[in-house]
Amino acid sequence: MSQRMQQGQPMIVMSEDSQRVKDKDAQEYNISAARAVAESVKSTLGPKGMDKMLVDSMGSVTITNDGVTILQEMDIDNPTAEMIIEVAETQEDEAGDGTTTAVAIAGELLKNAEDLVEQDIHPTAIIKGFHMAAEQARDEVDDIATRVDTEDEDLLRSVAETSMTGKGAELNKEHLSQLIVEAVRQVTVENEDGENVVDLEFLNIETQAGRSVDESDLLVGGIVNKDPTHDDMPREATDADVLLLNDPIEVEEADVDTEVSVTDPSQLQKFLDAEEKQLREKVDRIVDLGVDVVFCQKGIDDLAQHYLAKEGIVAVRRTKKSDLEFLSEVLDAAIVSDLESATEDDLGFGDVTRDEADELFYVEGEDAHGVTLLLRGSTDHVVDELERGVNDALDVVAQTVSDGRVLAGGGAIEVELASRLRDYADSVSGREQLAVEAFADSLELVPRVLAENAGLDSIDTLVDLRAAHDDGDVTAGLNAWTGDVENTFDAGVVEPAHAKEQAVTSASEAANLVLKIDDIISAGDLSTDKEDDEAGGPGGAPGGGMGGMGGGMGGMM
Ligand code: ADP
Ligand code: MG
């Protein structure tokens, strides 16, 4: 059975092991699988959300609060659950932040849809209603959003800080938000139409464990976290010609399997001489080009290192491909893949300096195009989670700079949208109306969970929020620090509009995708019984059944 599935052949005749679930049962099965996924990330939402510790099968540990990271690290083996994980991935790609929100809303949409299905409302009507509601919600977001001055640094810092709250990055958010806003500013250019274009390609993040987060810094140019290959090499070179090489400075072996049989010592000497000559020629080629510094992605032979050191050239081997690519932007240099054909035009020009304490090379181009955000933290786990938080914040600041539309956070936008969708529902006829209302209810999950995670009564909070919005306070949200319902925009809890539009879109599309399924045909055991330990058993049944998934996650939380 599993053999056939592995080969991915279409199943024409169902085997005895295969299972089929139809109609309401199929919807119920899918909805519960999808909801289980959404449930698993809810506790991380917002500033008071908790972190998760994920241990993979190799024992490596990730500690994170980041929705998409959690879902990707969880070893989920269920096709429906995977659709929900795709929501997080789309959100991450399109907006860079808001992954937990998108997944939580998708789960809540499905939960409310399940109630409607139970009331015998056909999924087609629900799907249509959800689709209408999502479209309306996007229009409303645009209407509600505040247009801001994209030069307003205080506002941009609020956007960065809102994104970092609840993350590892939060403790140092003042310092980091300053670096983030400055970094985005450095890589923003205005196009012909006067619009801001942020090119994050020119922004590199480098991490180093061992110092405090406060010592994180923004540097002009690039960083290479490597040592020079030879002790006798110079440590730095100013006004340097720099070669970026993706070609080994090693002896070219005609064929790895070639055996050299030597019959007398002179033959061996000849062979070695030939190798030496080849290396010498390569180094001479580099010297002739006038190179002061070589960053090589491949290896550099010991003897070649020695020659290079003698010539006073700084050489670094096994430079990361991504570093080399970034340096090519910083220095305006080509990456040379064949030393033989390299020309002076391929070289870059700039200053290469060395920080001995940190064992880093700083590379600054003539008129540097790139900047590097050097993130520091006490340990690798700290730095990794810091990087995830900072990455999200960079994305939302970049979006705000290019889009200029922001919203009040802390559930303010969700409650306002819900209220407007309920008004809109009145104009919708038929059963779709109920679906639009269910959509509105689903959005209110966000403030409810924010309140819950902050240890507040979610119903009280929601009642207060609704009352404020009924009074016309569009920006009334929950400030999780004070526990009060207030103008979160003024309190500095600010989010980009684009991320929210995307969250609404991807959540509703995923929910609709799940709802459309009315027939599940599985080649393996499709256990719907959570207690059934056999489900994810040795056969590795595709889908793993709910038991497989539930068990897998249970082990992690
Ligand atoms: P996501 O993965 O969806 O970005 P987060 O854990 O980053 O999830 O939480 C984002 C939510 O937290 C947003 O709704 C945002 O408005 C809210 N939030 C951020 N800071 C605060 C705050 N100080 N008070 C209340 N809510 C906040
Ligand atoms: Mg976030």
Least confident range of 110-119, 367-376, 540-549: 540-549
Distance, CA of 43 to CA of 100 (rounded, Å): 9
| Per-residue pLDDT, 79 | 80
Looking only at the bridges linking them, the beta strands covering 519-522 and 19-22 are antiparallel
Residue 1 DSSP SS3: coil
What are 33-54's pLDDT values in tens digits?
Answer: 888 888 888 889 988 888 888 8
| Per-residue pLDDT, 336 | 96
441 CA distance to ligand 2 centroid (A)? 22
CA distances in angstroms from 188 to 184, 191, 199, listed in the order given:
6, 10, 6
This prediction's pTM: 0.82
Of all helices (H) and strands (E), which one includes residue 114? Answer: helix 99-118
DSSP symbols for 184-226: HHHTEEE-TTS-EEE-GGGEEEEEEESS-GGG-EEEESEEE--
468 CA distance to ligand 2 centroid (A)? 25
| Per-residue pLDDT, 76 | 76
Indicate the top mutation candidate among 462, 493, 501 to test ligand 1's pocket, ranked by most ligand atoms within 8 A of CB: 493
* Torsion angle of the four alpha carbons 168, 172, 176, 177, in this order, in degrees rounded to the nearest 10: 100
**Which ligand 1 atom is the nearest neighbour of the CA of 44?**
6
Distance, CA of 517 to CA of 513 (rounded, Å): 7
CATH classification code of 149-220+372-403 = 3.30.260.10
Q: What is the mean pLDDT of residues 142-165?
A: 95
44 is known as an active-site residue: no
Classify each residue of 405-437 as buried b or exposed e, where b means 16 or more C-beta atoms within 10 Å of its C-beta: bbbbbbbbbbbbbbbbbeebbeebeebbbbbbb
What are 250-264's pLDDT values in tens digits?
Answer: 988 765 566 667 677
Residue 495 DSSP SS3: strand
Distance, CA of 493 to CA of 365 (rounded, Å): 37
| Per-residue pLDDT, 529 | 45
Indicate the top mutation candidate among 71, 94, 101, 487 to test ligand 1's pocket, ranked by most ligand atoms within 8 A of CB: 101
Question: In terms of CATH, what superfamily is 2-146+408-551?
Answer: GroEL-like equatorial domain (1.10.560.10)
What are 216-239's pLDDT values in tens digits?
Answer: 999 989 999 998 888 889 988 999
536 CA distance to ligand 2 centroid (A)? 33
Nearest ligand to the CA of 502 is: 1
Proportion of the chain above pLDDT 90, given as a percent = 62
505 is known as an active-site residue: no
| Residues in the 5 Å CB sphere of ion ligand 2 | 97
Nearest alpha carbon to residue 372 among 158, 208, 172, 237: 208
What are 371-389's pLDDT values in tens digits?
Answer: 999 999 999 999 999 999 9
Asked if 40 and 54 touch (Cβ cutoff 8 Å), the reply is no
Nearest ligand to the CA of 68 is: 1
49 CA distance to ligand 1 centroid (A)? 9
Distance, CA of 413 to CA of 467 (rounded, Å): 14
For the chain, how far is it from start to end, CA to CA, in angstroms?
A: 32
Burial of 338 (0-12, 13-18, 19+ CB in 10 A): exposed
* Whether residue 453 has pLDDT greater than 90: yes
| Per-residue pLDDT, 30 | 84
What the block records as the tokens of 161 is 């800080």
475 CA distance to ligand 1 centroid (A)? 15
Q: What is the mean pLDDT of residues 448-454?
A: 95
Distance, CA of 384 to CA of 213 (rounded, Å): 12
205 CA distance to ligand 1 centroid (A)? 23
- The dihedral built from the CA positions of residue 261, 264, 267 and 271, taken in this order, carries a sign that is positive
List 392, 403, 473, 525, catalytic entry = 392
Ligand 1 residue neighbourhood (C-beta within 6 Å)? 44-47, 49, 67, 97-101, 162, 165-166, 409-410, 446, 450, 478-481, 493, 495
User: What are the backbone angles phi and psi of residue 438, rounded to the nearest 5°?
Assistant: -65, -35
Q: Whose CA is nearest to atom 26 of ligand 1?
A: 410
392 is known as an active-site residue: yes
Looking only at the bridges linking them, the beta strands covering 52-55 and 19-22 are unpaired
Mean pLDDT of the chain: 87
CATH topology classification for 222-369: GroEL (3.50.7)
Nearest ligand to the CA of 49 is: 1
* Whether residue 449 has pLDDT greater than 80: yes
Indicate the top mutation candidate among 162, 417, 482 to test ligand 1's pocket, ranked by most ligand atoms within 8 A of CB: 162
Of all helices (H) and strands (E), which one includes residue 142? Answer: helix 123-144
Half-sphere exposure of 539 (CA within 13 A, CB side): 21
Q: At what angle do helices 23-42 and 545-554 cross, to 10 degrees?
A: 10
| Per-residue pLDDT, 353 | 92
* Whether residue 11 has pLDDT greater than 70: no
* Whether residue 247 has pLDDT greater than 50: yes
What are 264-297's pLDDT values in tens digits?
Answer: 778 778 878 888 899 999 999 999 999 999 999 9
DSSP symbols for 366-422: TT---EEEEEEESSHHHHHHHHHHHHHHHHHHHHHHHH-EEEETTTHHHHHHHHHHH
- The dihedral built from the CA positions of residue 235, 241, 245 and 249, taken in this order, carries a sign that is negative
List 62, 66, 97, 229, catalytic entry = 66
| Per-residue pLDDT, 83 | 87
Q: What is the mean pLDDT of residues 397-402?
A: 95
Segments making up each domain of the chain, as ranges? 2-146+408-551, 149-220+372-403, 222-369
Nearest ligand to the CA of 393 is: 2
99 is known as an active-site residue: yes
CA distances in angstroms from 132 to 37, 110, 406, 429, 432, listed in the order given:
25, 16, 23, 12, 9
